């Protein structure tokens, strides 16, 4: 279930498994690392849903063998990912292309590899790529499957930090207002081996899955820190 959930909004996954999951999933399935150097062209292929092997090569290098290529600089305190768990972001000295669009930063999250664009830029890309709005009520996600049987899936989603915090606060009994609309969207590719039909089924159940996961986390918090 956890691997299947990774193709929907990362919110539910983040609540259920707070770990840098890409290094445990894609990398763990990878073939032995190639000796060829990692290039911007390879990263662009991974970002554009053209190469699982490229994603695995970067996952292996970045998470299993510490040390990114010289043209990738880690961004450990990126405000864009505040409140999101298991995200690794990198600034690119050598920009890459996402289906023809210039990208100067990338993020890895489980089976996702994405960039972050202002909402208007992202929405234009979503429309140009004929992505559809996913049937998720807790936040915003778009998708288009390259292969409807087992992916990959081109996608876009709103940063989930505020939504995660709101769900946890609600599970702990606090009254919260809905988070404001995101001013930017993550855009890129998800390589989870999930069919479009399975994705849509999970997407329809995402709100319940996220609520259940946040309730479980809240119960764990109460067990550790009893209310005063």
Answer whether residue 103 shows pLDDT above 80.
yes
Answer whether residue 112 shows pLDDT above 70.
yes
Question: In this structure, what token pair is assigned to residue 134?
Answer: 């996913």
More reliable by pLDDT, 121 or 217: 121
Distance CA 48, CA 226 (A): 47
Describe the strand order of the beta sheet including 153-157 as a list of residue ranges: 72-74, 88-98, 101-109, 112-118, 184-190, 153-157, 141-145, 132-133
Across the chain, the runs of DSSP E, i.e. the strands, are 72-74, 88-98, 101-109, 112-118, 132-133, 141-145, 153-157, 184-190
Distance CA 19, CA 10 (A): 12
More reliable by pLDDT, 224 or 122: 122
- From the list 4, 29, 27, the residue with the least C-alpha distance to 16 is 4
Rounded to an integer, the average pLDDT of 144-167 is: 80
Question: In this structure, what token pair is assigned to residue 75?
Answer: 């961004």
Answer whether residue 168 shows pLDDT above 80.
no
Answer whether residue 30 shows pLDDT above 80.
no
Tell me the domain boundaries of the chain.
Answer: 2-222
What does the pLDDT read at residue 220? 45
Answer whether residue 1 shows pLDDT above 80.
no
Answer whether residue 207 shows pLDDT above 50.
yes
């Amino acid at each position: 279930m956890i691997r299947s959930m990774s193709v929907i909004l990362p919110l539910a996954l983040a609540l259920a498994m707070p770990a840098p999951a890409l290094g445990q999933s894609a990398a763990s399935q990878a073939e032995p690392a190639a000796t060829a150097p990692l290039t911007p062209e390879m990263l662009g292929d991974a970002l554009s849903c053209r190469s699982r092997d490229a994603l695995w090569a970067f996952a292996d290098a970045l998470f299993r063998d510490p040390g990114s290529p010289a043209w990738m600089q880690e961004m450990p305190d990126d405000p864009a990912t505040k409140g999101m768990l298991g995200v690794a972001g990198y600034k690119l000295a050598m920009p890459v292309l996402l289906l023809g669009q210039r990208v100067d930063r990338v993020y890895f999250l489980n089976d996702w590899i994405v960039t972050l664009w202002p909402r208007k830029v992202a929405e234009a890309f979503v429309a140009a790529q004929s992505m559809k709005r996913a049937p998720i009520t807790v936040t915003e996600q778009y998708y288009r499957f390259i292969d409807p049987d087992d992916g990959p899936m081109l996608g876009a989603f709103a940063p989930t930090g505020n939504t995660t915090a709101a769900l946890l606060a609600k599970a702990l009994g606090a009254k919260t207002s809905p988070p404001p609309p995101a001013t930017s969207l993550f855009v890129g590719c998800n390589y989870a081996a999930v069919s479009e039909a399975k994705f849509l089924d999970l997407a329809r159940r995402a709100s319940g899955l996220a609520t259940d996961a946040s309730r479980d986390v809240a119960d764990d918090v109460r067990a550790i820190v009893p209310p005063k």
